[in-house]
Amino acid sequence: MDCRSKRFVSALFVVVLAGCAQTPPPPPNDPLAYSLEKWQELKAANGNDYTYDSTFLSTFGFGSITTFEITDDQVTARSFVGFDETQTTNEEWTERGAEIGSHESGEPARTVEQVYSECGSSVLTQDRNANVVTLQFSNDVLEFCDYYSKTCADDCVIGVSIENLRFLGRPE
């Protein structure tokens, strides 16, 4: 085979391989609905018992972490750790059962499905001409859904988050 024929065969081989390569699926038209579907699949495979955190961090260094424990699709515990700008804990508590919601600080008790609902109804409906809206996923599951005014300088983020999601057991 002469040099010209070898080049032709090589080019044809590259074209054939390129045609066989799998293209990634197009992005979903509704990323929140797509993510909720992926969450429901994940939950069906792992069960209705899980924990997750919701974190607030100020631009000035203070913040908090609210941890939720969900059992059989019900919030069964809500824990809170608040810290100052030196990262020293200045408030800490855990609520269980009927106590849930008795402290003013911390994020409201929500299942992951309720976080998705809050994202869709309270965050994604914001005027995008006046606000910066963020929608972020981790492994297809909602991680951050928030917004802030384009005219705000500090600590203006409003929204919901799902961080450190952990399943507590497998279905029977």
CB distance 118 to 160 below 8 Å: yes
This prediction's pTM: 0.81
**pLDDT at position 7, please?**
45
CB distance 165 to 68 below 8 Å: no
For the chain, the structural domain boundaries read: 25-167
**pLDDT at position 43, please?**
96
**pLDDT at position 153, please?**
87
**pLDDT at position 24, please?**
53
With helix as H, strand as E and coil as C, how does the chain read? Answer: CCHHHHHHHHHHHHHHHHHHCCCCCCCCCCHHHHHHHHHHHHHHHHCCCEEEEEEEECCCCCEEEEEEEEECCEEEEEEEEEECCCCCEEEEEEEEHHHCCCCCCCCCCCCHHHHHHHHHHHHCCCCCCCEEEEEEEECCEEEEEEEEECCCCCCCCEEEECEEEEECCCCC
CB distance 52 to 68 below 8 Å: yes
Written as tens digits, the pLDDT of the chain (172 aa) is 554 444 433 443 333 334 445 555 555 689 999 999 999 999 999 999 999 999 999 999 999 999 999 999 999 999 999 999 999 999 999 999 999 999 999 999 999 999 999 999 999 999 999 999 999 999 999 999 999 999 998 899 999 999 999 999 765 4
**pLDDT at position 49, please?**
96
Distance CA 111, CA 162 (A): 10
